[in-house]
Amino acid sequence: MALKAKRANIKLCRSKAVIIPKSLEIGEQSTMAANRICLIDFRGEISPEKLLEFLESEIEPRFWEWYKKQNVG
């Protein structure tokens, strides 16, 4: 099940937090890789190293290609 949503960034101590939708299935821990885009495995089944590798090799290059096309004209 995919979803889309917009959430406020909430100040939490020295960090910022985002409240995730109730409908997402989550585990005890989450793993993440991030730069401009944040990729999170809420079940914690994928290692942070594998997520980062996927983000850098697959998502980031395609994102910037897509983003540049959106801002033409």
pLDDT tens-digit series, residues 7-53: 899 999 999 998 988 888 899 999 999 988 999 999 999 999 999 99
Give residue 73's pLDDT: 56
Q: Is 63 among the domain residues? A: yes
Is residue 1 in a domain? no
Q: What is the pLDDT of residue 58?
A: 96
pLDDT band at 1 (very low <50, low <70, confident <90, very high): low
Q: Which domain holds residue 16?
A: 10-70
| Interatomic CA distance for residues 64 and 41, integer angstroms | 22
**Domain count for the chain:** 1
Between CA 38 and CA 29 the distance in angstroms is: 16
Residue 48 within a domain: yes
Which has the closest alpha carbon to 64: 41, 33, 36?
36
Q: pTM higher than 0.85, yes or no?
A: no
* 25 within domain boundaries: yes
Structure token digits, residue 16? 């910022």
Q: Does any domain span residue 26?
A: yes
Is residue 4 assigned to a domain?
Answer: no
